[in-house]
Amino acid sequence: MISLSRIRFCIVSLLFLGIIGYAEAQEQAVDFFPKELSKDLITLPTEGNLRSYTIQTQEYAEKATQISLSEVIQEYLLNNNRIYQVNLKTRKAPLVSYTFDSLSRITAIEDYTGTAPTPWIFHEYNDHDRTKTELKLRTDSIIYTKIVLTFNENDLLISRKEFFGESDLKSEKRFAYNDQGDVKTEISTGNQEESTSNYEYQYDSKGAKLMR
């Protein structure tokens, strides 16, 4: 049986991930979008009113010197030229399914491989409270972990809370920003401890960041 980690390796190997350093950490923290999928492909509208299409990539097989077709088939389902679901499957069985809302935000991930400890992942978005929530459910449908991200009016992350289950707080990070929108203070709490990190930056005459 193909594991989900193997699926993700096959797909991620085709994507360009060019963000490094602190910028990468911030991007991962503020977006639940699956790293194994192409965000550009999901968010950009298509043409021609397609209802579905498939992609099958090429890869180097293990202990082989030639390129062959991946076992994983990517199926994209569309409505009004927007992708609302992506299914990864082989010719024999479904593997994992991703569902998106009308704003191309991930809302659900369902793993069919039988190997994932949390086969169901759900995402909720509250625009009024400026929060994004991720719920990971075990095979018995019990909530295993919950993450709540809170943003300010400028859409900058100001709080990240992680819970055991639905309400047992495990850790929290709080962020404050300077006038340029860069993090100046990060406060982390967890295991009855608290730490504070302060950041300073240099900018050129046009406001571009030179160093941290």
* Maximum average pLDDT range among 25-39, 51-65, 100-114: 100-114
Confidence of residue 61 (pLDDT cuts 50, 70, 90): low
> Which pLDDT does position 25 carry in this prediction?
32
> Which pLDDT does position 23 carry in this prediction?
37
Confidence of residue 6 (pLDDT cuts 50, 70, 90): very low
Tell which wins on pLDDT, 58 or 113. 113
Residue 13 has pLDDT above 60, yes or no: no
pLDDT digits (tens, 9 = 90+) for 130-180: 999 999 999 999 999 999 999 999 999 999 999 999 999 999 999 999 999
What percentage of residues in the chain have a pLDDT greater than 90?
A: 67
The mean predicted confidence, pLDDT, of the chain is 85
Residue 18 has pLDDT above 50, yes or no: no
Among 58-62, 129-133, 179-183, 205-209, the minimum mean pLDDT is found in 58-62
> Please, what are the domains in the chain?
1-116 (no CATH), 119-212 (2.40.128.720)
Confidence of residue 47 (pLDDT cuts 50, 70, 90): confident
pTM exceeding the 0.85 threshold for the entire prediction: no
CB 90 within 8 A of CB 77: no
Q: What are phi and psi of 42, to 5 degrees?
A: -75, -40
Confidence of residue 30 (pLDDT cuts 50, 70, 90): confident
* Maximum average pLDDT range among 21-25, 63-67, 189-193: 189-193
